[in-house]
Amino acid sequence: MLPGVAVDESLLMRLVRRAGRTVARPALECFEMLLDGGTPHQARLTVLAALTYLLLPVDLIPDFLPAIGFGDDMVALTALLSLCGRHLTPEIRRRAQSRLDRWFPTS
């Protein structure tokens, strides 16, 4: 984690639950990349900026709009993963999937 930066996991959980699994998977991969000690500092800053955009209540397309509200968030996450994807390890993917399964139980 970045020194002096606190992450409110419950805020992220509320957002991705509202957005659904499609937005949740890349958001959680980015979140796990942020938490991972092996992620370079510059990549963490980029991830932090994208997750901050995702969590802001005011953005390009308001999240409360049905069907399109999370479109800009998906674009931001996709761009982030294309920029920082080389730091997305199998272990980070596994942790993100585990968190996704806990937040979106299938049974």
Reported as a single tens digit per residue, the pLDDT across 37-47 is: 999 999 999 88
- Per-residue exposure over 2-22, b if at least 16 CB sit within 10 Å of its own CB, e if not: eeeeeeeeeebbebbeebeee
Whole-angstrom distance, CA of residue 9 vs CA of residue 6: 9
Residue 2 lies inside a defined structural domain of this protein = no
pLDDT at 8 over 90: no
Overall pTM surpassing 0.75 (yes/no): no
Evaluate whether residue 60 is within a structural domain. Answer: yes
Quote the pLDDT of residue 85: 84
Range of the domain at 18: 9-103
3, part of any domain: no
More confident residue, 44 or 79: 44
What percent of the chain has pLDDT above 90? Answer: 29
- How many domains is the chain built from? 1
Q: Identify residue 100 by its one-letter amino acid code.
A: L
Of residues 54 and 30, the one with the higher pLDDT is 30
